[in-house]
């Protein structure tokens, strides 16, 4: 008889221990934690132990902040984590970094973090031993802390044990046991251990363990360096110091100084090359590689330059293709969860991660939007070693690089190409990458390099995107939208299946396109889709490029019990958007099909022939224009493009990219899933309740939660903001103020070229339920860096709100 637990955690680093602790606190489950060797023996034992409060997004900041609170609380309960709030400063050595840090500081304050900007003079007055001759200023966070990673892990494990968790060392998991597409247990040397749910928190080993069972967990170890000096005489109040422009951080450490680096040229390590007994282990130290960082570190504080080095350390840490960690249930295997790939912030994240993962394992949901770090954001090809080793090294290097808006990753590009790629490149496309797809973000003019020059101001493509935008509003332009994820849903119960999943009525005549959301039981938006009834028993379901794996898993999980087949058409079909007031005449010049409004109204779709090529034309738009999305077999796409991209008079039709699309869709108040709408926002809050068919037979998933929310009233609503200053720009996460109170953050922003100002969505959140009309009398501002920019609000599209141009 094998042993049986509700939840089995694999891995006794800080993350596994934290999940065990939180499950122990919930106290509803039998839980076992299995550690291959000794607790902390993987990566945790050698971490520097910095616990910063601020992360890239508001929710990840919440998790990091909670970590510090938890370690502090455990310390107070006598568990001895070693946590201390020593404070931290991050220095800017140039004007662009100053802008970046001030923007981050504004975001931090909006999350309730105590965070101040100090000039170089103020820094030097406060910490006279700090070298500030090259410093423009810095952000001071007095509540940032440091902890002892080993003690903290042991404390979490001890508290977990006390709460009934079975923590076992010297118990390597050899294999995951799978039955009928779901995980059922793990195999150890002592036999099989059954688990209803299994969590892999096995650090750098997680990818291989999961891959052997068919699950994708893209992470890859890289070398990670620091050195610790001999004793130095530092004032007791010296905080942690980060100097991202030099790729270093400094941590006063028991009378010594730890100098750590984030090198631009980082080094991946083949995990298969590590011996099985790799415990409390390290790699050879390459002094040449680390020397420039060491030199910068030693020069930053007076009296340190000539001190000797006591410890040279180089150990493994796991990095992911986008520098964010991996949480959640794997799409490939039901009940197999992961928490891994911590990109050098595992200590500061582990407390919060333990809390949300325990909730995820307990309730099936994490309790907040975690799409940024959801394991479903990755495609299977991103799990390949060749790809991962390049990307992981870039991720490490970028951690302290400038976090420019629109910054594109550079390694391992060209994974997935549209069939139009070469044609678009020939027309000046500057490609960005999403889910491996090379997508035209903007088109360079004749003689202009098709590459980014980043800044926090208007970047070099601003006027290009403006021209593309104007072509869509005033003439016509072509968009390559091939990266859309597309699924065919067929079978006798396809209508019933989609009706259950989607908020809108799906029992519509063949040829009708329906815009809808798919909700979870709590009413949160899991997917934002357009669904076309192609035939009575066949639908085309279209979703965002980044959502393919997530939506596929959602469809597959809910298809059980319905007689339907879900087929992924993403790679088979290319999509060309023809958008603008002259879209009809352009398309009509290549087809005999009747495109008149009467014969081909808005939100309908049918097959037509364009110069002998059969394709599906769908009259729908994400840019707010008259237009068609043309769905075509991949091999026919170039022929179609060649017909449509040159007019009869030989003049080229403008092409438009994703930056223009973003600007156009914001003017039309079209939401973007993952930013403006997520699984923690409901259609009522997002202003999308028009998609809900409340009375359709059988209802839809999430309906009851929405009805209950309607009864309670809403204290959170999505609103469109337009800045009054035409020069200011919005990206995301800028704090929003109303009558002097902070009431939300921008969820996505772009410049509205037809309106001549920056636009952004944001949720207004107030303590009590409110009606939209009550916002009319408030005075709004958006905080950008250290400026407050007045803004007006709207709940409707700011461009063509009555849809005249579309219909
Ligand atoms: C030099 C350096 C400095 C760092 N500094 C900081 C810092 O200042 N702040 C910060 O937040 N982060 C820092 N980090 C990162 C941090 O150390 C990691 O993110 C964190 O320790 C990851 O914890 P983990 O539990 O995911 O992985 P690990 O600590 O590696 O734990 C995974 C555990 O799983 C076990 N395991 C693996 N396979 C199996 C199996 N088959 N069966 C059973 N058990 C298994 C391993 O033995 C291991 O104990 C640093 C990292 C390095 C390398």
457: number of Cβ within 10 Å: 12
Protein residue whose Cα sits closest to atom 22 of ligand 1: 346
Task: Tell me: pLDDT of 40 over 70.
Answer: yes
CA 467 to ligand 1 centroid distance, Å = 49
Half-sphere exposure of residue 176: CA atoms within 13 angstroms, side-chain side: 31
Q: Which helix (H) or strand (E) holds 423?
A: helix 421-426
Cα 598 to Cα 533, 620, 622, distances in angstroms: 19, 15, 22
Cα 215 to middle of ligand 1, angstroms: 20
Average per-residue pLDDT in the chain? 96
Tell me the C-alpha distance between 588 and 597, whole Å: 13
Rounded CA-CA distance 368/370 in Å is: 6
The span from the CA of 125 to the CA of 135, in Å, is 13
Ligand 1 atom showing the smallest separation from residue 34 Cα: 43
Residue in 432, 436, 434 with CA at minimum distance from that of residue 465: 432
Pocket test of ligand 1: the residue of 20, 35, 43, 272 to mutate, having most ligand atoms within 8 Å of its CB, is 43
Testing ligand 1's pocket by substitution, the residue of 47, 54, 212 carrying the most ligand atoms inside 8 A of its CB is 47
Structural contact between residues 403 and 355, judged by C-beta atoms closer than 8 angstroms: no
Q: Is pLDDT of 1 > 70?
A: no
CA of 340 to the centre of ligand 1 (A): 9
Per the CB < 8 A criterion, the answer to whether 495 and 693 are in contact is: no
Enclosing H/E stretch for 517: strand 513-519
Backbone angles phi, psi at 367, to 5 degrees: 90, 0
| Rounded-to-integer distance, Cα 75 and Cα 63, Å | 18
DSSP symbols for 194-234 = EEEEEEE--GGGHHHHHHTTT-----EEEEEEEEEES----
Cα–Cα distance measured from residue 767 to residue 491, given in angstroms and rounded to the nearest whole number: 47
pLDDT of residue 215: 97
Convert the pLDDT of each residue in 141-167 to its tens digit.
999 999 999 999 999 999 999 999 999
Q: Is the CB of 674 under 6 A from ligand 1?
A: no
Quick one: pLDDT at residue 125?
96
Residue 128 exposed, middle or buried by CB count within 10 Å (0-12, 13-18, 19+):
exposed
User: Ligand 1: distance of its center to the CA of 88 in Å?
Assistant: 23
pLDDT in the model for residue 729: 97
Shortest-distance Cα residue to atom 2 of ligand 1:
47
**With pLDDT > 90 as the criterion, what percentage of the chain qualifies?**
96
State yes or no: pLDDT of 249 exceeds 90.
yes
Max CA pair span of the chain: 84
Q: How far is the CA of 352 from the centre of ligand 1 (A)?
A: 16
User: What count of Cα atoms within 13 Å lies in the side-chain half-sphere of residue 355?
Assistant: 19
Sign of CA dihedral 148, 150, 152, 158: negative
Express each pLDDT in 764-804 by its tens digit: 999 999 999 999 899 999 999 889 999 999 999 999 999 99
Per 3-state DSSP, what percentage of the chain is helix, strand, and coil (rounded to 5)? 30, 30, 40
- Tens of pLDDT along 629-671? 999 999 999 999 999 999 988 999 999 999 999 999 999 999 9
pLDDT in tens, 204-244: 999 999 999 999 999 999 999 999 999 999 988 899 999 99
How far CA 550 is from CA of 359, 371, 522, 682, in Å, comes to: 20, 10, 18, 18
For a substitution probing ligand 1, which of 11, 144, 260, 318 has the most ligand atoms within 8 Å of its CB? 11
pLDDT above 70 covers a percentage of the chain that reads: 100
Q: DSSP labels for 728-781?
A: ----S--EEEETTEEEEEEEEEEEETTTTEEEEEEEEE-SS---GGGGTT--EE
Ligand 1 contacts CB of residue 224 (under 6 A): yes
Instruction: Round to whole Å and give the CA distance between 438 and 435.
Output: 9
Cβ–Cβ under 8 Å, residues 644 and 617: no
Q: pTM for this one?
A: 0.96
Atom of ligand 1 nearest to the CA of 188: 42
pLDDT band at 2 (very low <50, low <70, confident <90, very high): confident
How much distance in Å is there from the Cα of 47 to the middle of ligand 1? Answer: 8
Q: How far is CA 581 from CA 476, 597, 626, 756, in A?
A: 6, 13, 6, 20
Q: Which of 673, 430, 436, 479 is nearest to 571 (CA)?
A: 436
Query: Which tens digits make up the pLDDT trace of 277-315?
Result: 999 999 999 999 999 999 999 999 998 988 999 999 999
345 ligand 1 Cβ < 6 A:
yes
Provide the edge-to-edge strand list for the sheet that holds 240-243: 116-119, 137-141, 88-92, 240-243, 248-253, 256-261, 220-229, 309-319
> Ligand 1 centre from 503 Cα, in Å?
42
Atom of ligand 1 nearest to the CA of 171: 43
3-class secondary structure per residue, 593-610: CCCCCCCCCCCEEEEEEE
Q: Determine whether the shortest distance from the Cβ of 628 to ligand 1 is under 6 A.
A: no
pLDDT tens readout for residues 489-512: 999 999 999 999 999 999 999 999
**Which DSSP string do the residues of 319-339 spell out, in sequence order?**
E-TTS--EEEE-SSSBTEEEE
Q: How far apart are CA 236 and CA 437, in angstroms?
A: 51
In this structure, the number of other CB atoms found within 10 A of the CB of residue 344 comes to 22
What would the mean pLDDT of 465-492 be, rounded to a whole number? 98
CA of 44 to the centre of ligand 1 (A): 4
Average pLDDT over residues 569-594: 98
């Amino acid at each position: 008889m094998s042993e049986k637990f509700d939840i089995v955690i694999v891995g006794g680093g800080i993350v596994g221990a934290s999940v065990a602790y939180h499950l122990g606190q919930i106290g509803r489950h039998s839980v076992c934690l299995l550690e291959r060797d000794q607790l902390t023996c993987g990566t945790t034992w050698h971490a520097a132990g910095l616990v910063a409060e601020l992360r890239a997004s508001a929710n990840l900041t919440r998790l990091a902040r909670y970590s510090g609170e938890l370690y502090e609380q455990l310390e107070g309960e006598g568990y001895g984590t070693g946590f201390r709030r020593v404070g931290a400063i991050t220095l800017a050595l140039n004007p662009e970094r100053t802008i970046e840090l001030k923007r981050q500081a504004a975001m931090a304050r909006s999350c309730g973090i105590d965070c101040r900007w100090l000039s170089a003079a103020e820094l030097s007055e406060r910490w006279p031993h700090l070298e500030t001759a090259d410093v423009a200023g810095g952000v001071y966070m007095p509540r940032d802390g440091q902890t002892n990673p080993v003690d903290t892990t042991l404390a979490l494990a001890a508290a977990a044990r006390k709460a009934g968790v079975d923590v076992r060392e010297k118990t390597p998991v050899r294999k995951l046991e799978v039955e009928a597409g779901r995980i059922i247990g793990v195999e150890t040397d002592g036999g099989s251990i059954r688990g209803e749910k299994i969590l892999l928190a096995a650090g750098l080993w997680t990818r291989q363990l999961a891959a052997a069972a068919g699950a994708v967990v893209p992470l890859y170890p890289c070398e990670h360096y620091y050195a610790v000096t001999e004793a130095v005489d530092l004032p007791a109040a010296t905080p942690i110091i980060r100097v991202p422009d030099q790729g270093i951080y400094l941590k006063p450490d028991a009378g010594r100084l730890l100098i750590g680096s984030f090198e631009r040229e980082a080094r991946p390590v083949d995990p298969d090359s590590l011996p099985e007994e790799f415990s409390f282990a390290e790699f050879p130290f390459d002094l040449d590689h680390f020397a420039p960082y060491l030199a910068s570190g030693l020069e930053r504080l007076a009296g340190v330059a000539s001190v000797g080095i006591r410890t040279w350390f180089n150990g493994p840490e796991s990095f992911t293709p986008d520098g964010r960690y991996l949480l959640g249930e794997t799409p490939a295997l039901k009940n197999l969860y992961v928490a891994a790939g911590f990109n050098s912030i595992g200590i500061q994240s582990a407390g919060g991660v333990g809390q949300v993962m325990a909730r995820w394992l307990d309730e099936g949901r994490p309790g907040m939007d975690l799409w940024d770090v959801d394991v479903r954001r990755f495609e299977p090809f991103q799990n390949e070693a060749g790809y991962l080793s390049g990307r992981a090294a870039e991720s490490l290097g970028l951690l302290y690089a400038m976090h420019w808006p629109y910054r594109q990753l550079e390694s391992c590009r060209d994974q997935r190409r549209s069939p139009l790629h070469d044609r678009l490149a020939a027309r000046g496309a500057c490609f960005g990458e999403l889910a491996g797809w090379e997508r035209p973000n903007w088109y360079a003019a004749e003689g202009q390099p098709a590459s980014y020059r980043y800044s926090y101001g208007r970047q070099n493509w601003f006027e290009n995107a403006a021209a593309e935008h104007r072509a869509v509003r005033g003439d016509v332009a072509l968009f390559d939208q091939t990266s859309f994820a597309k699924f065919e849903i067929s079978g006798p119960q396809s209508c019933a299946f989609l009706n259950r999943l989607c908020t809108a009525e799906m029992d519509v005549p063949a040829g009708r396109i329906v815009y809808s959301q798919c909700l979870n039981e709590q009413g949160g938006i899991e997917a934002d889709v357009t669904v076309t009834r192609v035939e009575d028993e066949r639908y085309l379901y279209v979703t965002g490029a980044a959502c393919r794996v997530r939506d596929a898993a959602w469809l597959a999980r809910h298809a059980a019990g319905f007689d339907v087949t879900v087929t992924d058409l993403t790679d088979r079909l290319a999509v060309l958007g023809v958008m603008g007031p002259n879209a009809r005449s352009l398309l009509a010049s290549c087809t005999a099909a009747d495109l008149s409004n009467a014969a081909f109204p808005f939100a309908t779709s049918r097959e037509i022939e364009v110069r002998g090529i059969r394709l599906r034309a769908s009259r729908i738009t994400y840019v707010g224009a008259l237009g068609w999305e043309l769905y075509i077999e991949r091999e026919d796409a170039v022929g179609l493009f060649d017909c449509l991209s040159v007019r009869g008079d030989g003049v080229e039709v403008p092409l438009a990219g994703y930056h223009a699309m973003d600007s156009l869709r914001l003017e039309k108040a079209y939401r973007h899933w993952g930013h403006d709408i997520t699984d923690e926002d409901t259609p009522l809050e997002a202003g999308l309740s028009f998609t809900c068919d409340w009375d359709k037979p059988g209802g839809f998933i999430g309906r009851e939660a929405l009805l209950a929310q309607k009864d309670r009233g809403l204290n959170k609503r999505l609103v469109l903001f337009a800045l009054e200053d035409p020069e200011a720009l919005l990206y995301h996460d800028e704090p929003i103020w109303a009558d002097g109170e902070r009431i939300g953050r921008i969820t996505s922003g772009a410049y509205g070229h037809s309106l001549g100002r920056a636009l952004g969505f944001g949720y207004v959140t107030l303590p009590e339920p409110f009606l939209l009309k009550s916002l009319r009398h408030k005075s709004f501002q958006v905080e950008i860096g250290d400026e407050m920019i007045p803004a007006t609000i709207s709940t409707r599209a700011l461009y063509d709100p009555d849809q005249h141009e579309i219909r």
